[in-house]
Chains A and B, each alone.
Chain A
Amino acid sequence: MEQTIRQTWAFVFRGYHLTRRYLSWVIVFNFYALVTSATVALIGVAAQDYQLTLTLVVGALLWNFMSTLYNEIAMSIAYERWEGTLEYTFMAPVSRFIHLLGISLFSLFNSIIQTVIVLAGLLILTDLNLSGANLLGVLVTISISAVAFVGLGLMAAVLPVMSPERGAEATHIFQGSLLLVSGVYYPVEVLPKWLQPLSALSPATYTLSACRKLIGIGNSGSTREHLVSAPLSAVTRELVVLTIMGAVLMPLGLWVFGKVEIWAKRHGKLKRTG
């Protein structure tokens, strides 16, 4: 057990020190995330519509969190192939579950920190008032949805095992598609009819829908000064769907990863590329 904890910690240790060494880039990325979120949220401020502002803020924050989590996990294998260290990680007597758990844990820390920074910036720039919002319910929803996003990240992480460059490209295409169909900044109903069914497949759709209800967006009783939020029981459907997605995507991601690892070892695909 002690050994397993150390092995899991190895990935957090590595991620922490890499973040420290690339601190200037981390600051740049956080600044960019804050600015893009703020520019979206300020559209609501300009329209003098606090409900629209809140809708955009929630979209920007959650998308920031979910996309960072997904992207960090999905790209971790690509980074290792570019550095040439993937062979050494795969040579270590660490199970793939622990390997990917370690990567996911660090990605989760990273996503939370980045989201807190963006939230702090938005609170300064948009004069938001969240009194009355069911923030505990939001936390529960995000925690459940994180499992589904980790599963998606694991599935995407196999792509750079097959081809670092093409895999990284596909990872970003998939991330962009999620942004399009999940109703991050607009209701999914505004999408073309043929595209709307895809929104049902994205965990982000349910996360956003639940969080907006829990904050009080769309509730006729909510005012700028005080929000009237829904209780957690009001988003049971979304939570059940997210739980099922997590329960399916996480083991599926690990299974797919295992299969692709064997394929890569048969075809000599673990070598450094890039």
Chain B
Amino acid sequence: MKYPAIEVYNLKKSFRKRNGFWKAKRSWALDDVSFTVGQGETYGLLGPNGSGKSSLIRILSTLLIADSGEVRLLGHALPEEQKAVRRIIGRVSVDAAFYKKLSARENLLYTALLYGQKARTAERRALDILERLGLEDNKFSTPLEEMSRGMQQKISIARALVINPPLLLLDEPTTGLDPKSRRDVQAFLEELRRQEGRTILLTTHDMAEAERLCARIGFLARGKLVAEGTANQLKELAHAETLDDAFIKLTGEKLADEEKGNEEVEMVGEV
């Protein structure tokens, strides 16, 4: 049976923010979010800073436990089956966290060993990925601290792929990259989607990137999934010329008008 790669139903996550010594305020990072992503599909999540994108990725990555709701990745429920989930996901985060003193090779081999892989096989695979990402061979032995942000992010993508996961969680992988690096990464992701049929969940601020790479897109604002559909469906829904306009219209109206916002939440699944 072919079930969706990602299933998220009525997901809620809140954080308590301390307000003075005694008082604490609860704020919702994710408020009743539901969506599914089919196997081999690339799904984009767009939202302003603080809309809950990273919290969602962290929950799917087993790094955060939701307050309520259901999450299943390739049929494995979270948080109950987190060990099985960890074997099938690769994650790229916006901040490309590494041991900066270590070389790309050392960082990637460390990851491969953590996943119980043979170092030699992982090394060959890592070199292949880096070549496809347009990184020269000699950079393999260079400490990360001597690399540009773009190169580090390419290593970060290689780290997610060196373990060969069927599901990729990409949290703003092109944010802060120069145009050339951004193009390289986008071309590589497109190739992954086309040739390997991998499922990708991508969060981004870049509308053009979402339109180019994602089969479907969800708009996330204030922790709510405001609307989802193909780029054309979203533009149609918002009566907008561009995805940029659609985003501003749908999320902006939501932010300004709570009642209207509730209607928009109901739109989810109908588009």
Which A residues are within 8 Å of any B CB, using their own CB?
2-4, 6-7, 9-10, 13-14, 17-18, 21-22, 83-85, 87-95, 262, 265-268, 270, 272
Contact = CB atoms under 8 A, between A and B. Distances in A.
B203 to A, nearest CB: 16
A7 B100 CA distance: 21
A81 to B, nearest CB: 10
18 contacts: A2-B116, A6-B118, A7-B115, A10-B114, A13-B110, A18-B99, A83-B100, A87-B61, A87-B93, A88-B91, A90-B62, A90-B63, A95-B83, A266-B65, A267-B15, A268-B55, A268-B58, A272-B95
B97 interface: yes
A268 B64 contact: yes
Interface string B144-180: 0000000000000001000000000000000000000
Given A85-B99, A87-B93, A88-B97, 15 more contacts: A3-B116, A6-B113, A6-B116, A7-B114, A14-B110, A17-B110, A18-B101, A87-B63, A91-B86, A93-B87, A95-B83, A262-B65, A265-B64, A268-B15, A272-B97
A24 to B, nearest CB: 12
Nearest to B100: A83
**CB-CB nearest 3 A-B residue pairs:** A84-B97, A3-B116, A10-B113
Contacts of B79: 265
B114 A94 contact: yes
Interface in B101-119: 101-102, 106, 109-111, 113-119
Contacts of B143: 21
Nearest to B122: A6
Nearest to B98: A85
B123 to A, nearest CB: 13
B114 A89 contact: yes
Contacts of A272: 95, 97
A14 to B, nearest CB: 5
A103 B106 CA distance: 17
Contact of A270 (B63, B83, B87): B63
B89 interface: yes
Nearest to B145: A21
Nearest to B109: A13
B95 A93 contact: no
Nearest to A92: B114
Contacts of A95: 83
A13 B86 contact: no
Contacts of B62: 90-91, 265
Contacts, number: 93
Contacts of B87: 93
A18 B63 contact: no
Nearest to B58: A268
A138 B110 CA distance: 35
B47 to A, nearest CB: 17
Contact of A14 (B61, B63, B97, B99): B99
Contact of A9 (B58, B106, B111, B113): B113
A18 to B, nearest CB: 6
A78 B97 CA distance: 14
B97 A92 contact: no
Contacts of B65: 262, 265-266
A4 B79 CA distance: 22
A85 B91 CA distance: 12
A162 B15 CA distance: 15
Contacts of B58: 87, 268
Nearest to B67: A266
A91 B82 CA distance: 9
A21 B97 contact: no
Contacts of B95: 84, 272
Nearest to B83: A93
B94 to A, nearest CB: 11
A84 B15 CA distance: 21
A102 B119 CA distance: 17
Nearest to A10: B113
Nearest to A86: B97
Given A94-B114, A267-B15, A83 B63 contact: no
A262 B87 CA distance: 19
Nearest to B116: A3
Interface in B247-271: none
A85 B116 contact: no
Contact of B102 (A10, A17, A89, A268): A17
A4 B63 contact: no
Contact of B63 (A2, A10, A13, A91): A91
Contacts of A94: 114-116
A84 B152 CA distance: 14
